[in-house]
């Protein structure tokens, strides 16, 4: 299985894993699971930290390495796909995650029910 963590799930995985559902927690820690983090999530975290709206690990990249989370860069194809999605969800960061998950065949780990409206595979966190 290959997962893409929604931004809030990334933060919970690193700082409050007890907030995750049992299924999500097991999937994320399973050594056979590839767990990806989008550059869009890191960008979203940086913006919210700078605005004082979010408390996240200062050493985010190091924490991701420790947890064996793999970075997922944003490609031109991802950007084009995100911009072409129907307007079920207006959050540009979530739209990018949806486009990436579809393009890369990933399951998004999230608690946001609007993401499933795109027909992308999800795992409820």
Please report the DSSP string for 35-92 in residue order.
Answer: EEEEHHHHHHHHHHHHTT-----TTHHHHHHHTTPEEEPPPHHHHHHHHHS-TT---H
- Residue 57: its pLDDT value, please? 87
- Could you tell me the pTM of the whole model? 0.95
| Full pLDDT tens readout for the chain, 125 residues | 999 999 999 999 999 999 999 999 999 999 999 999 999 999 999 999 999 999 888 899 999 999 999 999 999 999 999 999 998 888 999 999 999 999 999 999 999 999 999 999 999 99
Q: Under a CB-based contact definition with an 8 Å cutoff, are residues 120 and 98 in contact? A: yes
Q: Specify the CATH superfamily of domain 2-124.
A: 5'-nuclease (3.40.50.1010)
């Amino acid at each position: 299985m290959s997962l893409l963590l929604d931004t809030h799930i990334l933060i919970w995985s690193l700082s409050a894993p007890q907030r995750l559902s049992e299924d999500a927690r097991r999937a994320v820690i399973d050594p056979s699971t590839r767990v990806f983090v989008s550059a869009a999530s890191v960008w979203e975290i940086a913006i919210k930290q700078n605005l004082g709206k979010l408390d996240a690990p200062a050493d985010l990249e190091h924490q991701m390495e420790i947890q064996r989370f793999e970075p997922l860069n944003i490609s031109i194809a991802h950007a084009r796909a995100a911009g072409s999605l129907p307007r079920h969800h207006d959050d540009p960061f979530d739209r990018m995650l949806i486009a990436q998950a579809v393009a890369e065949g990933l399951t998004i780990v999230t608690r946001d029910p609007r993401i499933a409206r795109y027909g992308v595979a999800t795992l409820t966190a």
